[in-house]
Amino acid sequence: MSANLPAAVLLGVLGLLIGSFLNVVVYRVPAGKSVVRPGSSCPVCEHPVRPRDNVPVVSWLMLRGRCRDCATPISARYPLVELGCGSLFFALTLRLGITPVLPALLFLAAIGLALALIDLDVCRLPFEISVPGLGVTALLLALAGLADGWSPVAVALLSSAAWFGLYWSLWYGTGGRGMGLGDVVLAPTLGLALGWLGWGPSLVGLLGGFGIGAVVGVTLMMIGRAGRRTQIPFGPSMLAGALVGVFAGSAIWGAYLGVMG
């Protein structure tokens, strides 16, 4: 693992920069705005953000969390998203090393973070991200196959179909009340990527998402923050389960098979 540390640091810095862009995506995509134009500006005084004020985390600290021009507070979520993306890139690189599959997992981590935050904000997973996300993930995995061999393809495709089939069945069976269509559209992408790593990561990630979702739902009801009819975004739990699958799926699945055997 230590041999991957320099690469993990470099990719962690890249994650910070991408996290800065994700803040734009999270704000603009639900509003139907372009993520390219216009450039970032203060939503109150509308002054453009200067390049020196757009350095991930550092600029927020230097500005003490306020706009340079009008002193309006800047949410701490901005640097936290940057740190979150940087931490994911760092951790994934340590976990996987510089391998052909790494770009696909880094891409999925970035869009997954954006989707989770959007789901928390507006209770939906935008197709504008999840649909092209499937195509890009498939392309990156195809490049991994060209570089490292095609042995994972069969499991990845079966895994993708299993994830999609389960989520579609839950959505269709409840008439859309128990599962959002955005979750259904995202499912095959997660199944494809985790299946490339093996059945252990895929199945642990799949079941882990439902487990985390159940714990979150019960906890919110116990503390009075939700009732039986409250709409609770499932995307963050689904994506958190996928992370568990990536980082611990093989070990958990191996331990389960050992107990069962």
pLDDT tens for each residue of the chain, 261 residues long? 567 899 999 999 999 999 999 999 999 999 999 998 888 888 889 899 999 999 999 999 999 999 999 999 999 999 999 999 999 999 999 999 999 999 999 999 999 999 999 999 999 999 999 999 999 999 999 999 999 999 999 999 999 999 999 999 999 998 888 789 999 999 999 999 999 999 999 999 999 999 999 999 999 989 988 887 788 899 999 999 999 999 999 999 999 998 987
Q: Is the N-terminal amide bond of 132 cis, ω within 30° of 0? A: no
If one counts the domains in the chain, the total is 2
Q: Are residues 118 and 94 in the same domain?
A: no
Last residue of a domain, one of 68, 98, 128: 98
CB 64 within 8 Å of CB 71: no
CB 66 within 8 Å of CB 72: yes
Last residue of a domain, one of 98, 130, 164: 98
Last residue of a domain, one of 98, 126, 147: 98
Amino acid residing at 55: V
List the one residue out of 92, 78, 67, 66 whose CA is nearest residue 14: 92
* pTM reported for the whole predicted model: 0.95
Domain that holds residue 83: 1-98
